[in-house]
Amino acid sequence: MPKGTGLAPYITVNGAAEAIEFYKRAFGAEEHFRLEDPDSGRIGHAELSVGGQLLMVSDEYPDFGALSPDSLGGSPVKLHLYVADVDAMFARALAAGGTELRAVKDEFYGDRTGTLSDPFGHTWMLASHREEVSPAEMQTRWQEMMGG
């Protein structure tokens, strides 16, 4: 098994070349390679590193079941990325073209987290870990937050 690939998101977008450039600007992604369709120019497969982890990206290929959030009307999946400075990375991602869904704030589970949508319909949760919270304490904080 290749190093760092226990679980690697493989996302489909409408405009993979543009998405790769966004991920470079927004998250400091490093592109390893891409496979381009010589006839259509679409990217059939690309591999990036984001935060030291593998992220695979492709354009839509409906014949192979590869559909983007644009075609599906959204995606229920969130990509969670831990970073050293969530406030700075969140601002960087917004400046690159992301859309804020939830402002950065301290959360009950010990992370400082913000949520944004990239221009290609994928949701990203950016976080910095601030505090170790036991499962029991997390449950207590959750109940308090939910009014119970």
Task: Over range 32-53, report the average pLDDT.
Answer: 96
Q: Which tokens in the block code for residue 103?
A: 């402002």
pLDDT for residue 66? 96
Give yes or no for residue 29 having a pLDDT over 70: yes
Q: Using CA atoms, how far apart are residues 10 and 45, in angstroms rounded to an integer?
A: 9
pLDDT digits (tens, 9 = 90+) for 106-140: 999 999 999 999 999 999 999 999 999 999 999 99
Q: What is the mean pLDDT of the chain?
A: 95
Task: State pTM to two decimals.
Answer: 0.92
Q: Pairing between strand 78-82 and 123-129?
A: parallel
Confidence check: pLDDT of 40 > 60:
yes
Whole-angstrom distance, CA of residue 78 vs CA of residue 62 = 22
Rounded Cα gap, residues 74 and 1, in angstroms = 31
The DSSP 8-state label assigned to residue 64 in this structure reads G
Percentage of the chain exceeding pLDDT 90? 93
pLDDT of residue 6: 77
Please give the domain boundaries of the chain with CATH numbers for all domains: 10-145 (3.10.180.10)
The C-alpha atoms of residue 114 and residue 133 are separated, in whole angstroms, by: 19
CB 130, CB 106: distance < 8 Å: yes
Question: Which pLDDT band, with edges at 50, 70 and 90, does 1 fall under?
Answer: very low
